[in-house]
Structure formats: structure tokens, C-alpha cells
Amino acid sequence: MSHELRLTLLGDCRIELDGKPLANLALSKARALLCYLAVTGRPQPRSVLTDLLWGELNEADARRNLRVVLAKLRDAVGDYVLATRNELAFDHSLPHAIDAAAFERGAQRLLASPEKLSRDEVGEMEHLFARYKGDFMHGLDVRNAPAFEEWLLMQREHLRRLALQIGERLASYYEDAGCMSEGITACRRLIELESWQEGAHRRLMSLLAHSGQPAAALRQFEQCRRALAEEIGLEPDATTRALAERIRRDMHEREALAADATSARPPHNLPAPTTVFIGRAEELVQIASLLADPACRLLTLIGMGGAGKTRLALQAAHNLIADQGADSVSQGSSFRHGVYFVSLAAVNSADQIIAAIASAIHLVFSGQQDWKFQLLNHLRAKEMLLILDNFEHVLSEAALLTEILQAAHSVKILVTSRERLDLYEEWLFDVRGLSFPPDQPMREADATDDPDALARYSAVQLFAQRAKRLSLRFDLADAPQAVAGICRLMEGLPLGIELAAGWVRTHTCEEIARTIQRNLDFLSTSAQNVPERHRSLRVAFDYSWDMLAEVAPQDSVE
């Protein structure tokens, strides 16, 4: 019948044979001898062993004691202990498990690995760190054996150093990866192993602060101060004190911001509107309501090119800032750290999205740390609205938005896009054309030859505003039916209406309407500050059609 001897030496010393404790191995020096032979892994001269365990006795008494202990040991574990006239050894060929030896081999191999750990190596380190239950052979009291005590202390220190190095590598990995909870747990375990390790206290303070627990971080600083004073009689160094001061200052600033949140408007980088915003009152109310809803953290304004998505998003943001502190907006979304507009028109990768967001919120990257980690870490404790414009360019990178929402619980994202992002968190808001006169008015007051009645439609208002800027002679009363027809032809599309109004200097409204019916390419502009994709209605339509064609196979499955 095969046996397995298991020596559990990290923490309380336990010796088990076939899963059962060796109750008949009560002598502490017998247990010490077995563990020493097993851990050293090589034959030991009897003279070395007598000096190790009975160095204070004369040679005859020491050898007699060794024979007694060896007999009890052989009775308990049989052939696991090999004996010759001059040497004793542990038989490693028989089934056995020694946790301290396995820990040492694994730790030395992993600590020799490159600086950047793989996911598998992290998993191994997590297993090893959990395996270190405490000091080597804790609780084994071997009296009158100073040589053995010296060896035991050296082994304990060696294995504790390995455990600390493993824990430090793990904590560093967790911090770099933004895994705050795991990092906090690792640092606390490190401090349990060695309470005066200032580096572990400092990293724990940083992790607590970045996870939104500044008060806990400051309590950790006081614990660090006490541990250093009691263990080695020193004060925390300048780096640790500076970190504590920075955390304290940031906490006070946040408290001051919270106290002023109802009256102060958030910072922003929104471009000032250069023309009057027309219509869409109902849409603005709906968007404000969605942004105030705690459940809605990612809102996409979706519509074809030229529908006015960007202008609507900016107006909603300007209204939000102007109304900051009002009950209708402040419930659930104060955005006290800012409302920031990020143009993605020239962006085509995740790194460029990250750089564009960082530029908008005035975040300067530092050191060699990953940009995404620095951005997520910066946003983690922020109450902020990010407006990401023209996201259709980078739909393949939409998962980055989920990472932002997961890392930063008080950040919301407002997106404009010609296509949906297809994220689970996404709320969709369709942006269609402005209101325009119907073909057959239902009421006398809505007649298309009544300028005052027409002016109630926001599409007509936009046409008149644009036409008036280009020709002071323009008067809606001169061609009400033609303007109504143009707005109907465009179905209220803001881009089409503005392009059509751009011709009033050289064409009558009737001519514009007739030409649109014959040739859509007529609607174009040479304005220098208009994006290329908006200089022609045909270009805008073709761009949207191309994007629709790209996603059609995926959509058709649904």
C-alpha cells in the first residue's frame, strides 16, 4: 500500500500521513529532525545532526538521544527516513508534499521572470501568495537547540522575504492594471506580514485614495506612523508624508466642491454657439431628463449626416451648465467636475480616442504608465459628462466606453453617431428633422401662404434665419409656399435646409425648390468653416449610405 507524507510548514507546523495527523510523533525534536531532513534535501552526517539538536550535551549523550528520536521517527513514518551508520536522509523518491519547498521553487522562478507579468504568471503568484500562511514552522518549540533555532530563523527570514517580494509584485501589477480592490487586499496582507514596510503602507494609501476612500487612506497613514514608531523608532519619510498631505488636500477640495455644488457651474470646454439655436425644445427636455436618470450613463444621439446631432448635443450641454443647481437637472447628475466636448472627426484608433479625451479634460500623461490606465485612474473619482462627437469613425473601439463607465462610476457619456455603438449600456435617442409644414394643412391658420403660421415650424425658422444672414432683402412673406415646399422636400433636415437657403442671393425660392426636385447635387456650399462631409447634401447622404452598407450584414441577423 502506497503512502503520502505531507509536511505543512508555512504557518503552524503539521505532519500528516495519508491525510491523518501523526499523533504518535509528539517529540518536538523528532518533528524538527524530520522537517530538517526533508527541507535540506540532502543526507546529513549524524555528527551535524547531534550538534544541531543537542549541541549542549556531550557526544555520547547526544548520539544516544539521536538514536531514541530516530527510532520514534522510523516508527511513525517508516522508510521516509533513510539511516546508515554515518548519515540520515529523507527519501524524496516516496510520495510526499512539502509546501515550503514548493513555495520556494515557485517564488524563485516567478521572481526571476521579466518585469511585465503574463496573466498566467499573475495567477501563479496569487496562488503562491495565498499559500504563504505564516512564518516557517510557526509554533514548533525546540528547546536547548540554539543551532537549530538559528537555522529556523534563517529559513523563516528567507521565505518571508520571498513572500514579501511576491506580494509587492502582485500589488504593483494590480495598481498598474487598475484592479484597486485586489491591490488593496494584497497591500493589507503585506502589512500583516511585516507591519513596518513603509512602501506597502504608501501603496495602500494611494490605492485607497484612488478608489474613492481618502479618509481610509489617511487612517492608513496614521497606522503607518504608529507601526514605524513602535517597530524601528522612525517617522514616515518625506514621500509618504507628501502623499498624505496631497490626499488630505484633495479630500478638502472635494468637500468644498460638494458644498458649493448647488450654486457653482461646472467647468467646460464647450464652443460658444455662433448662431441662434432653433427648435427642438421637446428633444432638449428629453435629453436633460435622460442625463439626469442614474440608469442612463451612455446616451447616443443617432441620426443621418446633417440631422443636427452635434448642435443638439452642444445645446443640451449648454442648457445643463446654465441650469446647474436647478432641481430638474441636479438630481442624479451634477457633473461638478466638468462637461467636456471631444471631437473624434480626425480620430481612428483607441489610443487617439484616449489622447483626445485627455486633451479635452486637460489631463497630461506622465511617466511610462499606460495611457488608458492613467485616464481611467483620473476619471475614477470624477463627476463628469463627456460628449464624444462623430463616433461613427471609431465604432470598433466602442468597448473603451464600457471600460470608462466601469472604472468611473460618476462619469456619463453623450455620443453623437450615424450608427449605434451596439453596447449593452447604450441608450439610443433618434435625431430626426426639424418640424416642417404638412402637404395639406388641417387648419386655416396653418395655410402655407401665411408667414406667421409658417414661422411656427422650426424648419422654416432655420431657412429664414440662414437666408436673412445671406441677403438682408429676404422676406418670408415674399415666397411662403416655396419656402414651405423646400422644407418639405428636405423633410426638415437641417443640413439640407441650410444648403438650400445658401442660394437665396442668386435664386428665388421657387427656383431653389424646382432645382432641388430635379437635382440633389444642387445643394452644396463653398463655406470654408464647414466640414468636408457637410459641404454637399449628396456627400452627406453617400457617407451615411456607405456606413449603413458596412453594418447591414450584422443588422440583418437581428
Order of strands across the sheet that contains 20-21: 20-21, 14-17, 5-8, 96-98
For residue range 199-216, what is the model confidence (pLDDT) as tens digits?
Answer: 999 999 999 998 889 999
Residue 127 and residue 156 in one domain = yes
Tell me if residue 455 falls in helix, strand or coil. coil
* Domain C-terminal end among 135, 155, 188: 188
- Give the chain's domain count: 4
Query: Residue 418: inside a domain, yes or no?
Result: yes
Query: Residue 273: inside a domain, yes or no?
Result: no
- Domain residues for the domain of 470 are 444-541
The residue written with cell numbers 498624505 in the block is 244
Residue 449 and residue 405 in one domain = no
If residue 253 lies in a helix (H) or strand (E), which one and from where to where? Answer: helix 238-259
pLDDT at 528: 47
Q: With a cut of 80, say whether residue 21 has pLDDT above it.
A: yes
Q: With a cut of 60, say whether residue 544 has pLDDT above it.
A: no
Q: With a cut of 60, say whether residue 443 has pLDDT above it.
A: no
DSSP 8-state class, residue 448: T
pLDDT at 264: 59
Residue 180 and residue 203 in one domain = no
Residue 154 and residue 201 in one domain = no
- What string of DSSP letters covers 342-375? EE-TT--SHHHHHHHHHHHTT----TTS-HHHHH
All three cell numbers of 179, joined, read: 484592479
> Is-contact 334 413, C-beta < 8 A?
no
| CA gap 289, 106 in Å, rounded | 56
Residue 178 and residue 235 in one domain = no
The residue written with cell numbers 433618434 in the block is 430
Residue 351 and residue 456 in one domain = no
* Domain C-terminal end among 166, 188, 210: 188
Residue 308 and residue 215 in one domain = no
* Domain C-terminal end among 365, 397, 430: 430
pLDDT at 260: 57
Q: State the average pLDDT over residues 511-521.
A: 80
Query: Residue 156: inside a domain, yes or no?
Result: yes
The 10 Å Cβ neighbour count of residue 354 is 22
Write the CB contacts of 355 (distance below 8 Å, at least 6 apart in sequence).
371
* Average predicted confidence (pLDDT) for the chain: 85
Residue 5 and residue 106 in one domain = yes
| CA gap 150, 292 in Å, rounded | 67
Q: State the average pLDDT over residues 371-399.
A: 92
Query: Residue 452: inside a domain, yes or no?
Result: yes
Distance between terminal CA atoms of the chain?
A: 63
Query: Residue 54: inside a domain, yes or no?
Result: yes
10 beta partners: 136
Positive or negative, the Cα torsion across 550, 553, 556, 558?
negative
| CA gap 523, 530 in Å, rounded | 14
Of all residues in the chain, the percent with pLDDT exceeding 70 is: 88
Residue 458 and residue 340 in one domain = no
- Say which CATH number the domain at 83 has: 1.10.10.10
DSSP 8-state class, residue 397: G
Query: Residue 295: inside a domain, yes or no?
Result: yes
Residue 50 and residue 152 in one domain = yes
pLDDT at 117: 80
Closest CA to 40 of 110, 112, 109, 92: 92
Residue 205 and residue 161 in one domain = no
Q: With a cut of 60, say whether residue 367 has pLDDT above it.
A: yes
pLDDT at 241: 93
Query: Residue 379: inside a domain, yes or no?
Result: yes
Q: With a cut of 70, say whether residue 332 has pLDDT above it.
A: no
- Say which CATH number the domain at 290 has: 3.40.50.300
Q: With a cut of 50, say whether residue 444 has pLDDT above it.
A: no
Q: State the average pLDDT over residues 411-440.
A: 91
Query: Residue 120: inside a domain, yes or no?
Result: yes
Residue 182 and residue 202 in one domain = no
| CA gap 495, 465 in Å, rounded | 13
- What string of DSSP letters covers 135-191? SBTBT---TT-HHHHHHHHHHHHHHHHHHHHHHHHHHHHHHHHT-HHHHHHHHHHHH
Tell me if residue 508 falls in helix, strand or coil. coil
For residue range 280-325, what is the model confidence (pLDDT) as tens digits?
Answer: 889 999 999 999 999 999 999 999 888 889 999 999 999 988 876 4
pLDDT at 256: 72
